[in-house]
Chain A
Amino acid sequence: MKKILISCLLIISSCGGKKHAMGVAKTGQNDNKTFVTAESLDAEPPYGLEKVRKMLTIKKGDLLNYASMNDTAYASLSLRERFTYHMINPEQYAQTCTIYFPKDDEYKQIAAQLPRISEGFTWGERQWKFFSTNRDSVIALMEECIKKESKVGLNFKRVIEYLDAKEIIPLLVNTYNNGRNDHGLLTVLMLLMKEGKYAPFLATQLYQKLYANENASYKSNTKFNSENERFIVELATSYHHATTN
């Protein structure tokens, strides 16, 4: 298992994902370190990536400048380039508790919610609007990237949740089954079923524990084991069938 995880990290790193500073360097638990690093990777879409990077001459966090691309520059981008821009460049300050506090046993868990990770920035109004206004195109572009890379970046997962993109469930399941180490995908599947108020999921103890319980929070999680893994994947597949038939 350890070898598989380390191999997966090497593959992920070669795909050019963008890593957030997570504060895991000091852990002696290689399994957890590998897991947390992989779970925090953002996807970097290839569409005009270099062009967008060059246009982002205003360095994020500079003391006197803003993180967002100005309107004129933004208007010159194609839809695909805008997709890349939004995915790699959150524009709005993230609030203080938008920080992921990894624990030393993350790799043994399936989280109820996707980690709130930021380098001080999150998506702003213009960006959420872009995702929702161009929902079908955004989903299609994410599908293209996921198929090519066989992985789903954390930024993609958050947009999938935001767009309630249940049509993408089969691709998420296939991607998960390729490596079976991205617990965040199981989280996304659960979030889609929750958002869709899928009755068979809402009736489970898992749903009660992670989302409905009085003390359920963004820190809630459940044990990662083959039983929970299979249960979530099978239920999400049924949910997809139910919504498409």
Chain B
Amino acid sequence: MLLAGCSFCYSQANNNFVLVPAGKYTIGKKGYLTNPLRTVQVDSFSIAPYETTNRQFEAFVKATHYQTDAERRHDALVFEPGLKEFEWISDTTAYWRYPNGKSRGGIEKEMDHPVTCISYHDIMAYCTWAGVRLPSLEEWEIACRAGTTTDYFFGDSGAFIGQYANVWHGRDHMMADTMDGHMYTAPVGSFKPNAWGLYDMYGNVFEFCTGKLLPDEGNTLAHARGGSWWCSKNACNFFNSYDIGRVNIRASFSNQGFRVVKMKKGKG
């Protein structure tokens, strides 16, 4: 317990968590069967304003000598321009230090970018070490919406997404897109936050959450939200407040990451 507390202080330094008060919140979208419009009651929780960075994950690896799924299984999936929509390529050299494979460069100069190429399983290990947890599906949406009930926390039109999120602006993924200065991830906090001061809720990386969409959903699948640098309005269009993605808990993609929620005292 003491160790977990110390490592938490180290890994989450300068990360002023945003307190979301307990209460009833409206989430979901009308007509969506798996995330219907509804009111939920939640306890208060404190969520990180930024996605977890390479620097924070490195601290975990240095302290624990943890090897990620991608390092042990050599089955990470990476992206390069020229792939058809929704296609990724397997790269046995890819892991969090080389999220798109060694040939595409490392993260040495990107320590303030979100950590990627990690699996849900890896994230659980990080959270245990750091004494934090992932937000639930409901908590993530409440934090993202920041009191709004529109499709985006800035309204119903996605026209201004570029001000708030690192997303793919190209028509497809055949050509590189650096229109916003970033083809892959951007440093956390590079774009405008939502009304509660949370950055990158849309885009940059998909953020894993806990919870299931269906009671009978298998335990090999996890959910993530908010879209990523890969997502475009012409492809998945997942950078919004209501969509919920799904991926294998051992899968490592270079557009998957996470942000954390503080553990309450006595629940660590």
Given contacts A217-B233, A218-B236, contact A96 B90 (CB under 8 A): no
Question: Scoring A residues 104 to 143 as 1 if CB is less than 8 Å from chain B, else 0, what string do you get?
Answer: 1100000000001011111011000000000000000000
* CB atoms of A119 and B218 under 8 A apart: yes
Selected from B86, B218, B233, the residue in CB contact (under 8 A) with A95 is B86
B contact residues around A34 at 8 Å (CB): none
- Chain A interface mostly helix, strand, loop or mixed? loop
Task: Confirm or deny: B266 has a beta carbon within 8 angstroms of a beta carbon on chain A.
Answer: no
Q: How far is A60 from B235 in the complex, measured between Cα atoms in Å?
A: 27
Q: Which of B59-67, B144-152, B245-253 contacts A (4 or more CB under 8 A)?
A: B245-253
Task: Confirm or deny: A25 has a beta carbon within 8 angstroms of a beta carbon on chain B.
Answer: yes
Given contacts A23-B214, A125-B89, contact A96 B34 (CB under 8 A): no
Rounded to whole Å, the gap between the CB of A113 and the closest CB of chain B is: 9
Residue of B nearest to A216 (CB): B234
A contact residues around B206 at 8 Å (CB): 96-97
Q: How far is A218 from B77 in the complex, measured between Cα atoms in Å?
A: 22
Task: Confirm or deny: A168 has a beta carbon within 8 angstroms of a beta carbon on chain B.
Answer: no
* CB atoms of B256 and A96 under 8 A apart: yes
Task: Confirm or deny: B224 has a beta carbon within 8 angstroms of a beta carbon on chain A.
Answer: yes
Selected from A23, A97, A216, A217, the residue in CB contact (under 8 A) with B213 is A23
Residue of B nearest to A25 (CB): B214
Task: Confirm or deny: A21 has a beta carbon within 8 angstroms of a beta carbon on chain B.
Answer: yes
Residue of A nearest to B227 (CB): A97
Q: How far is A118 from B236 in the complex, measured between Cα atoms in Å?
A: 14
* CB atoms of A21 and B217 under 8 A apart: yes
Q: How far is A124 from B88 in the complex, measured between Cα atoms in Å?
A: 9
Interface centre among B244, B246, B252 (most CB of A within 10 A): B246
In the complex, chain B residues 237-261 whose Cβ is within 8 Å of any chain A Cβ: 237-238, 243-248, 250-253, 255-256
Rounded to whole Å, the gap between the CB of B124 and the closest CB of chain A is: 12
Residue of A nearest to B159 (CB): A215
Q: How far is A217 from B31 in the complex, measured between Cα atoms in Å?
A: 19
Q: 14 A-B residue contacts at CB 8 Å?
A: A62-B220, A63-B220, A94-B248, A97-B227, A97-B238, A98-B86, A98-B247, A101-B33, A104-B31, A120-B247, A120-B248, A121-B248, A217-B233, A218-B237
Residue of B nearest to A219 (CB): B237
Rounded to whole Å, the gap between the CB of A64 and the closest CB of chain B is: 9
- Chain B interface mostly helix, strand, loop or mixed? loop
Task: Confirm or deny: A237 has a beta carbon within 8 angstroms of a beta carbon on chain B.
Answer: no
Q: How far is A122 from B77 in the complex, measured between Cα atoms in Å?
A: 12
B contact residues around A119 at 8 Å (CB): 218, 221
Binding site for B on A (CB under 8 A): 21, 23-27, 60-63, 66, 92-99, 101-105, 116, 118-122, 124-125, 215-219
Interface residues on B, range: 35 or more
Interface centre among B77, B89, B247 (most CB of A within 10 A): B247
Task: Confirm or deny: B75 has a beta carbon within 8 angstroms of a beta carbon on chain A.
Answer: yes
Top 7 A-B pairs, shortest CB-CB distance: A61-B220, A96-B245, A93-B251, A120-B248, A97-B236, A23-B34, A96-B247
Q: How far is A33 from B235 in the complex, measured between Cα atoms in Å?
A: 25
Selected from A99, A121, A124, A217, the residue in CB contact (under 8 A) with B245 is A99
Given contacts A61-B248, A92-B90, A95-B88, contact A101 B34 (CB under 8 A): yes
* CB atoms of A93 and B247 under 8 A apart: yes
Task: Confirm or deny: B228 has a beta carbon within 8 angstroms of a beta carbon on chain A.
Answer: yes
Residue of A nearest to B205 (CB): A96
* CB atoms of A96 and B233 under 8 A apart: no
* CB atoms of A218 and B256 under 8 A apart: no
Q: How far is A99 from B86 in the complex, measured between Cα atoms in Å?
A: 11
Q: How far is A18 from B24 in the complex, measured between Cα atoms in Å?
A: 39
* CB atoms of A217 and B237 under 8 A apart: yes
A contact residues around B35 at 8 Å (CB): 101
Rounded to whole Å, the gap between the CB of A190 and the closest CB of chain B is: 16
Rounded to whole Å, the gap between the CB of A41 and the closest CB of chain B is: 18
* CB atoms of B220 and A103 under 8 A apart: no
Residue of A nearest to B226 (CB): A96
* CB atoms of B33 and A24 under 8 A apart: yes
B contact residues around A96 at 8 Å (CB): 206, 224, 228, 238, 245-247, 253, 255-256
A contact residues around B253 at 8 Å (CB): 93, 95-96
B contact residues around A216 at 8 Å (CB): 234
Q: How far is A125 from B83 in the complex, measured between Cα atoms in Å?
A: 12
Q: How far is A237 from B246 in the complex, measured between Cα atoms in Å?
A: 38
Q: How far is A244 from B254 in the complex, measured between Cα atoms in Å?
A: 44
* CB atoms of A217 and B235 under 8 A apart: yes
Task: Confirm or deny: B160 has a beta carbon within 8 angstroms of a beta carbon on chain A.
Answer: no
Q: How far is A120 from B227 in the complex, measured between Cα atoms in Å?
A: 17
